[in-house]
Amino acid sequence: MSKINWDDEQQVIDVLNDDKLTGKKYRLTDITADAQKKLGSLAYYCSRTYSVLSLVSDRLRDNEQIVRLAVEKDGWALQFASPRLKDNEEIVKIAIQQDGRSLKFASPRFQDDENMVSIALNVDGQAFEYVSERIQDSEQIVKHYIKKYWYMMEYVSPRLQDNEEIASIAVHQDGRALRWLSPRLQDSDEIVLLAIMENERAINTASRRLQVVVEDACNLFGTNDVIKAFNYYLAQKEVQELEALIPDSGKVREVKYL
The reply to whether 165 falls in a domain is: no
Express as a percent the part of the chain with pLDDT over 90. 67
| Within a domain: 95 | yes
Residue 185: inside a domain:
no
CB 254 within 8 A of CB 245: no
Res 14: pLDDT = 86
Determine the structural domain holding residue 19 and report its residue range: 1-104
| Residue 182 pLDDT greater than 80, yes or no | yes
Which of these ranges, 121-125, 151-155, 177-181, 235-239, has the smallest mean pLDDT? 235-239
Return the amino acid letter for 4.
I
Place 44 in a pLDDT band, splitting at 50, 70 and 90. very low
Query: In whole angstroms, how large is the CA radius of gyration of the chain?
Result: 27
**179 falls within a domain:** no
* Any domain includes 256: no
Rounded to the nearest integer, the mean pLDDT of the chain is 86
Query: What is the three-class DSSP state of 186?
Result: helix
Q: Please tell me the predicted confidence (pLDDT) of residue 123.
A: 96
Query: How many structural domains is the chain composed of?
Result: 1
CA distance 53 to 64: 12
User: What is the pLDDT confidence band of residue 43, given thresholds at 50, 70 and 90?
Assistant: very low
257 CA to centre of own chain:
39
In a domain, 46, yes or no: yes
Q: Is 224 part of a structural domain of the chain?
A: no
Give the pLDDT score at 16: 86
- What is the C-alpha to C-alpha distance for residues 125 and 224, in angstroms, rounded to an integer? 34
Say what the pLDDT of residue 54 is: 86
pLDDT-based confidence at residue 165 (cuts at 50, 70, 90): very high
What pLDDT score was predicted for residue 50? Answer: 57
Range with lowest mean pLDDT among 12-16, 75-79, 238-242, 250-254: 250-254
| pLDDT, tens digit (0-9, with 9 covering 90-100), for 129-143 | 999 999 999 999 999
pLDDT category at 32 given cuts 50, 70, 90 is very low
- Residue 175 belongs to a domain: no
